[in-house]
Chain A
Amino acid sequence: RASEQNTEEKMISPEKAEEAKLKARYPNLGNKPGGSDLLRKRLQKGQKYFDSGDYNMAKAKIKNKQLPTAAPEKTEITGDHIPTPQDLPQRKTSLVTSKLAG
């Protein structure tokens, strides 16, 4: 009887085991599961931040050194990263017909 109980206690649901794995890799992950952070990130899709004043001041401050690039963290929402020309999306190519119609 006692041994059965022990086995049951040891069995964690696969979902909880995965959760433990994730928390081990990202100890800073908030205790708000699927909460505000994720939702706000979703609502902010498409937001581009660029202020030429900030950009030039940041460039002047650092002078010859490279501008810091943002760390791809899951929890980061706002951009305090000054975009560099390399970061800006490439100009989209001219519109062509869909290959489905080919």
Chain B
Amino acid sequence: MAGPGGDMQWCFSQVKGAIDDDVAEADIISTVEFNHTGELLATGDKGGRVVIFQQEIENKNPPQFRSEYNVYSTFQSHEPEFDYLKSLEIEEKINKIRWLPQKNAAQFLLSTNDKTIKLWKISERDKRPEGYNLKEEDGRYKDPNTITSLRVPVLIPMDLMVEASPRRVFANAHTYHINSISVNSDNETYLSADDLRINLWHLEITDRSFNIVDIKPANMEELTEVITAAEFHPHQCNTFVYSSSKGTIRLCDMRASALCDKHSKLFEEPEDPSNRSFFSEIISSISDVKFSHNGRYMMTRDYLSVKIWDLNMENRPVETYQVHEYLRSKLCSLYENDCIFDKFECCWNGNDSVVMTGSYNNFFRMFDRGHRRDVTLEASRENSKPMQVLKPRKVCAGGKRKKDEISVDSLDFNKKILHTAWHPQDNIIAVATTNNLYIFQDKVI
């Protein structure tokens, strides 16, 4: 796959997490997100914890560019709750993390579980005051009678301490389960979306939010589709999109009306009715939608494919990439083991030329839009020697299996890569397996 200046060769850089096979549920990674500069990488897990890694660059000069992501901060973002009124168990699992663009020395991120969004401030402390008049160094108060002179406390350097504190809690605005949050380009508002509604918040105001989309039918028996993902346009602060379980994407303009139930654009690919099966709707359900960085395209992920849409063309995608078409003849068992409901995410590289998404057996796929090439790579401990180049993998759909190919029936469906992230500028990617985080980089950066 060619990138600027030659073929991209992905090398192992780091892996985070425990090696043992016995995975505790709390350790299941549920979200991965780089911040806007790529210096910070955040993960959220099923146990409600957030771990932030910071990039430390060892060698700036290409082609020997080397960096390492090391733990910067870790905190408990959400805790399990029980809504007694509704007899509802609220999981602490972090569904999404979104970073705010940096405005001052501190970093801010939004993290959300099924019901509550929190704004976390992550700040550094590298100085501490010393020389109080009324207190000893260990904090004990001095006997005032022993004080004979006054001094001015001074700030002295100390070991870097990174502190995370919850600055806002946005609660009680969602009846259904939150699947997405998205920060507006205006840097003042953000949206949160659940299965049936989308709310608009102001980052400073926690006691109220505006409902901007409501698709709840008057009679729940008439429910035919739910909201699966939503995102603000990267530059147009009035525009956002939301995807549905029926494979449609609606683009809405907040200038048109207060309630954006009526879409401005409806993106849907026509389906051949003769091909329709019991599985059609399930596999057309969109699990993720992401705008390109340039704001001209959006990408959607459904069970078997990735589609690129031109915002100016509603009737069909401009590009469609098959992620694992060989699974089409396994849909029956994938329905029985619930894998057909797995929600894969997708992401763009910095210049929107390559897109990436995960698959099973710890495989992940990259599609080079310009060069019409794609590759399947694997995140595994077996390929984890420093700077080891990843070998492309191939799945044999049927017939004679070649050496080095893996047959569909040998794929491990418990090893899913649902979450991947691409550094905003460089060819560095973060790939989450069930409980491990892999970081890969291009051999030549």
Contact = CB atoms under 8 A, between A and B. Distances in A.
Given A33-B282, A35-B224, A13 B275 contact: yes
B223 interface: yes
Contacts of B131: none
Contacts of A2: none
Interface string B7-48: 000000000111000000011010000000000000101011
A19 interface: yes
B261 interface: no
Interface string A28-42: 010001111011101
Given A36-B224, A97-B49, A19 B279 contact: yes
A81 interface: no
Contacts of A53: none
Given A18-B277, A99-B435, A100-B17, A48 B45 contact: no
Interface in A16-65: 16-19, 21-23, 25, 29, 33-36, 38-40, 42-43, 45-50
| Residue among B17, B48, B221 with most chain A CB within 10 A | B17
A47 B47 contact: no
Contacts of A43: 176-177, 195-196, 223, 226
B411 to A, nearest CB: 16
A22 to B, nearest CB: 5
Interface stretch (B291-299, B326-334, B357-365, B373-381): B326-334
Given A18-B332, A48-B87, A95 B277 contact: no
Nearest to A12: B277
A50 B87 contact: yes
Contacts of B223: 36, 39-40, 43
A26 to B, nearest CB: 9
A102 B18 contact: yes
Interface in B269-300: 275-282, 285
Given A43-B195, A98-B51, A33 B280 contact: yes
A15 interface: yes
A1 interface: no
A11 interface: no
A101 interface: yes
A63 B79 CA distance: 39
Contacts of B329: 14-15, 17-18
Given A18-B329, A34-B245, A42-B195, A95 B27 contact: no
B74 interface: yes
B335 A22 contact: yes
A92 interface: yes
A33 B47 CA distance: 34
Q: Which range holds the interface residue count of chain B?
A: 35 or more
B27 to A, nearest CB: 5
Contacts of B224: 35-36, 39
B404 interface: no
B89 A22 contact: no
B134 interface: no
B221 A36 contact: yes
A41 to B, nearest CB: 10
A75 to B, nearest CB: 13
Contacts of B285: 34
Contact of B51 (A16, A45, A95, A101): A101
A44 to B, nearest CB: 9
Interface in B81-111: 86-91
Contacts of B49: 95, 97-98
A100 B43 contact: yes
A99 B74 contact: no
A23 to B, nearest CB: 7
B47 A95 contact: yes
Contacts of A18: 277, 279, 328-332
B80 interface: yes
Contacts of A17: 329
A39 B71 CA distance: 39
B220 interface: yes
Contact of B278 (A19, A46, A49): A19
Contacts of B335: 22
A34 B43 CA distance: 32
A22 B177 CA distance: 29
A64 to B, nearest CB: 29
| Residue among A25, A43, A96 with most chain B CB within 10 A | A43
A15 B279 contact: yes
Contacts of A40: 220, 223
A38 B280 CA distance: 14
Given A36-B221, A40-B220, A100-B17, 10 more contacts: A15-B275, A15-B277, A18-B331, A22-B332, A48-B88, A95-B79, A98-B26, A98-B43, A100-B437, A102-B18
> 3 shortest A-B CB distances, which residue pairs?
A34-B281, A14-B329, A18-B331
